Structure 1
Amino acid sequence: MNEAIRQLEPLSIWNNFADLNSVPRPSKKEDKVVRFMMNFGNSLGLETFTDRIGNVIIRKPGTKGMENRKIVTLQSHLDMVHQKNADIDFDFDRHGIQMFVDGDWVRAEGTTLGADNGIGVATIMALLESTDIPHPPLEALFTIDEETGMTGAMALEGGVLHGEILLNLDTEEDDEIDIGCAGGIDVTATREYNEKPVPRGITAYEIEVNGLQGGHSGMDIHKGLGNANKIMNRLLYHSSEQYHVRISEIDGGGLRNAIPRESFAKIVVDKSQTRDFEISFQELQRDIVKELGITEPNLQIGLEELKTSPKKVMGLGAQEKLLKGVYAAHNGVYAMSAAIDGLTETSNNIAKVEVKNGQIQIGCLTRSSIDSAKMDLAHALKATFELAGCKVAFNGNYPGWRPNPNSEILKVLVKKYKNLFNEEPEVVACHAGLECGILGRNYPNMDMISYGPTIKGAHSPDERVSISSVKKFWSFTKEILRDIPKK
């Protein structure tokens, strides 16, 4: 299956991508891919090392006549988001990604593809192993754990890098040049609750919400996509209010940077109310499916009677506070930017809701291009969840990347893009979390820019990368490196 990928042009990128995708590389478990990159650099006879956190740095001298150009740091992250469809048997810790060609797209079989940011990594690998591409002195920076905390970028110390220009290859529209991004913070709410024996004379059900698109919790947050956790909470809230449904378990969502696609709950209902409950549930189900019919045409909400009843349910007080808290907590776009038309400024993703064995955990990722606005929304969430009886912790706070419209490397990219493609690129800031803002804290004088090929559905099993766009991205990158100014 992956052999078809190796026949695509440019061969050097796609073969490196196929090699990379054969290596398991979940966030916070990058040991295998770090060894892979170390072996790659050493096999080329290039200066190759890791810093204290595990980021990989590889250096390559400039080609003849370009030795005195400014040093360019090429940067991408090694880890990938792990999401799969519920019916797929796949172990991200052991299995390589299974890819296939679908017209102009490369996709994966029921899992995330890892084009975010594997295509960037593979492109840098192609440049490092090249023998016929003119380029200035290159410094490759492969960071770890970008997707679940940016700890690689956070821990990179000043003085390790030599580059004067940084090209971050981690954006997802090939006609855009990115000069800024949002910062983020993890908001986690937890509480314990008393479990009660399941009452007698009940019917047990499992509720299932699935078929949602999911996607990147920053880049896709403005699209009005369904959030499985909010949908499930709405179903449970109204069922609890009308029919005194008791909750045994909830398992919804997963990674903070992915809009949740699925949620599952086990509940019990008094037998005397099962018929009315089922009719009411079906009416609410139809309403929700109709509301989201345009943005989520494949949404499915299922209700299935269980043969075996759960043993325990939540205490009523904790259940009521949980449902009201999640209902009140903001999800989606909170504010649009006043400075950049069409840019989401501040948002929140209720990424994970887990209720089981006397423990509640709710995980959110709050983003904003303005740090004070990010913290304002984080504190609003904190207040909401504290009213629901939860303890709330903030973790993984990272800064945004402030746009510099006067950047010298921006001028190079805009000129090259116009000359190559006979059109103006879009110069933008994005609502995703790029590592440039973090790296800039220890390297404030480094001129930074971000660009990449077209990738759709990142952070979901619908992730796909455009083959023609990768070819465009490759030609653009080679031309940029030809025109790096002298020191």
Structure 2
Amino acid sequence: MSSEIRALEPKQLWNKFADLNAVPRPSKKEERIIQFMKDFGKNLGLETIEDTVGNVIIRKPATKGMEDRKPIVMQSHLDMVHQKNNDTVFDFDTQGIDMYIEGDWVKAKGTTLGADNGLGVATIMAVLESDTIAHPALEALFTIDEETGMTGAMGLKGGLLKGEILLNLDTEEDDEIGVGCAGGVDVTATGSYDEQNLSSEGRKTYKIEVKGLQGGHSGMQIHEGLGNANKIMNRLLYAVVEDISISEINGGSLRNAIPRESVAVVVLDDDKEDILISVLTALSTTIKQELKTMEPDLQIEFSEIDFQTKVMPFAAQLQLVNAIYAAHNGVYRMSPDISDLVETSNNIARVIVKDGHIKIGCLTRSSVESSKMDLANNLRATFELAGCDVELSGDYPGWAPNMDSDILKVMVPIYERLNNGGKPHVAACHAGLECGILGQNYPTMDMISFGPNIKGAHSPDERAQISSAQKYWKYVLEILENIPKS
């Protein structure tokens, strides 16, 4: 199906995206894509370097007549979120993405597409390769590990880049110009318990499954009312906590993805079976009714399985279920300054209970540092009351808006001209862009973020809009040709 993708317009963009998606590039395992990008730059005869953490920088001189313009940096991240449906057989470490076209959208078969941020990377590659696109002196910055820690942006040293304007191509709405973003911090609770052994006599083991949720980006989509599999599972367990013993829980996946699936294994006495089925059936109906608009495909299933002997002690499981119930998930505070912007939120992304160990992973985001730490401490207190140890890690800053930006003053009128007077939405976003981190070592750099329409990022429903990519590509070319003079 790659040939159909390559035939799409603009061919420069889609061909580079197809090249990119043939290379496995999950976060933390970017060795192959780093080498791919270095080979790409060197084969073009351009100055190409890899810095100390694995970021790749490719420099291209200004095209004729553009030498007097401000030098720019075009930036995107190389890694992608690796999510797949449970029934999809796929190895992100060895396989390229299997893409197909459905109407006006490019999708992947049962996995994330990698348009986040692959379309941005492909854009920069197309500009680097072209001998007809006008642009000023250009540094292409390809960062690593954006999705699981932003270690590439954090490790980029000051003084390495010479550009005065940075174009970040990691926004997912084609009518939006990003001028700010949220910071974030990982909140991880861990605990342990002494497993108890139960006899199978007079007891059964049931598996409870929550699946069919949409999932999605835990920042950009946190306000949409999507179901969180970990919270739904915990609500089910809370309803029957007096009648079960928890053997294990496995819910969610990546910290920046709203969890789509959760599985719990519980043990109960034979005479509690009817109670369990009755209570869970009624509650499942209620939850599905609550979420029917946003989650029409939600499934909650419970079935008897082979007996499991090891379970949590009742006191430990009660503390766990109460803590997850109390832990905040979703929007914590809306911005009082920017209309419709989520200021602070949390995603309970991962819950693992097995073999005497508990691990709960959250990603807390905010555009206000004090609010971010307020919510992080709220979560810390909640899980510490349940006897867990809590660690805050991976803290990264937000990006403060600059409404007096020179590149913003260029981009707004270009957008209006290309779109028959339609105005772009100039806004901060509730996601972790690398601009805030890069700005720490490059405080005078003028930064902006934009991109094509990408829906369902961080989930197997991820899709990129073909018509939007065409609109976006024209915008990119106009911006490059109209960079302000030095």
When normalised by structure 1's length, the TM-score is: 0.99
Aligned Cα root-mean-square deviation (Å): 0.6
User: Equivalent residues in 2 for 1:199-278 (5 A)?
Assistant: 199=199, 200-241=201-242, 244-278=243-277
What is the Cα deviation at residue 311 of structure 1?
2.1
Match of 2:387 in 1: 389
Amino acid aligned to 2:361:
G
SS in 2 for 1:58: strand
SS in 1 for 2:180: coil
- The 2-side partners of 1:79 and 1:6 are apart by 21
Match of 2:171 in 1: 171
Match of 1:340 in 2: 338
What is the Cα deviation at residue 316 of structure 1?
1.1
Match of 1:5 in 2: 5
What is the Cα deviation at residue 324 of structure 1?
0.3
1:80-123 Cα distance to aligned partner (Å, 9 max, x none): 00110000000101110000000100000000000000000000
- Establish whether residue 291 from structure 1 lines up as the match of residue 290 from structure 2: yes
SS in 2 for 1:206: strand
SS in 2 for 1:410: helix
- Establish whether residue 403 from structure 1 lines up as the match of residue 420 from structure 2: no
Match of 1:359 in 2: 357
- The 1-side partners of 2:71 and 2:22 are apart by 31
Match of 2:424 in 1: 425
- Equivalent pair of 2:46/2:59 in contact (CA under 8 Å): yes
- The 2-side partners of 1:408 and 1:444 are apart by 15
What is the Cα deviation at residue 276 of structure 1?
2.0
1:438-475 Cα distance to aligned partner (Å, 9 max, x none): 00000000000000000000000000000011111110
- Equivalent pair of 2:100/2:107 in contact (CA under 8 Å): yes
- Establish whether residue 412 from structure 1 lines up as the match of residue 410 from structure 2: yes
What is the Cα deviation at residue 389 of structure 1?
0.5
SS in 2 for 1:221: coil
Q: What is the percent sequence identity of the aligned residues?
A: 65
SS in 1 for 2:234: helix
What is the Cα deviation at residue 2 of structure 1?
1.6
Amino acid aligned to 2:315:
G
Match of 2:135 in 1: 135
Match of 1:313 in 2: 311
SS in 2 for 1:9: coil
Amino acid aligned to 1:392:
V
Amino acid aligned to 2:72:
V
What is the Cα deviation at residue 415 of structure 1?
1.1
- The 1-side partners of 2:299 and 2:28 are apart by 33
Unaligned runs of 5+ in 1: none
User: Equivalent residues in 2 for 1:172-191 (5 A)?
Assistant: 172-191=172-191
Amino acid aligned to 1:170:
D
- The 2-side partners of 1:311 and 1:4 are apart by 52
Amino acid aligned to 2:225:
G
- Show structure 1 runs of 4+ deviating over 3 A: none
Match of 2:158 in 1: 158
Amino acid aligned to 1:209:
V
- The 2-side partners of 1:164 and 1:414 are apart by 19
What is the Cα deviation at residue 252 of structure 1?
0.1
What is the Cα deviation at residue 287 of structure 1?
0.7
Amino acid aligned to 2:429:
C
- The 1-side partners of 2:414 and 2:61 are apart by 23
Aligned residues: 484
Residues 3-12 or 197-206, more deviating: 197-206
Amino acid aligned to 1:175:
D
- The 2-side partners of 1:165 and 1:277 are apart by 60
What is the Cα deviation at residue 221 of structure 1?
0.1
1:251-299 Cα distance to aligned partner (Å, 9 max, x none): 0001000000000011111001111221111111111111111111000
Amino acid aligned to 1:297:
P
- The 2-side partners of 1:7 and 1:277 are apart by 55
Match of 2:435 in 1: 436
Amino acid aligned to 2:297:
N
Unaligned runs of 5+ in 2: none
Match of 2:473 in 1: 474
Amino acid aligned to 1:156:
L
- Equivalent pair of 2:348/2:361 in contact (CA under 8 Å): yes
SS in 2 for 1:366: strand
SS in 2 for 1:223: coil
- The 2-side partners of 1:91 and 1:235 are apart by 32
1:280-328 Cα distance to aligned partner (Å, 9 max, x none): 111111111111111110000000111x111200111111100000000
What is the Cα deviation at residue 68 of structure 1?
2.0
What is the Cα deviation at residue 133 of structure 1?
1.0
- Equivalent pair of 2:239/2:279 in contact (CA under 8 Å): no
Amino acid aligned to 2:328:
H
What is the Cα deviation at residue 3 of structure 1?
1.5
Match of 1:464 in 2: 463
Match of 1:23 in 2: 23
Amino acid aligned to 2:87:
D
- The 1-side partners of 2:68 and 2:48 are apart by 21
- The 2-side partners of 1:209 and 1:324 are apart by 19
Candidates 373, 395, 401, aligned match of 2:371: 373
What is the Cα deviation at residue 67 of structure 1?
1.3
1:138-195 Cα distance to aligned partner (Å, 9 max, x none): 1000000000000000010100101000000000000010100000000000001110
- The 2-side partners of 1:152 and 1:311 are apart by 45
Match of 2:52 in 1: 52
- The 2-side partners of 1:282 and 1:419 are apart by 56
Amino acid aligned to 2:92:
F
- The 2-side partners of 1:485 and 1:217 are apart by 36
- The 2-side partners of 1:277 and 1:480 are apart by 61
- The 2-side partners of 1:270 and 1:160 are apart by 65
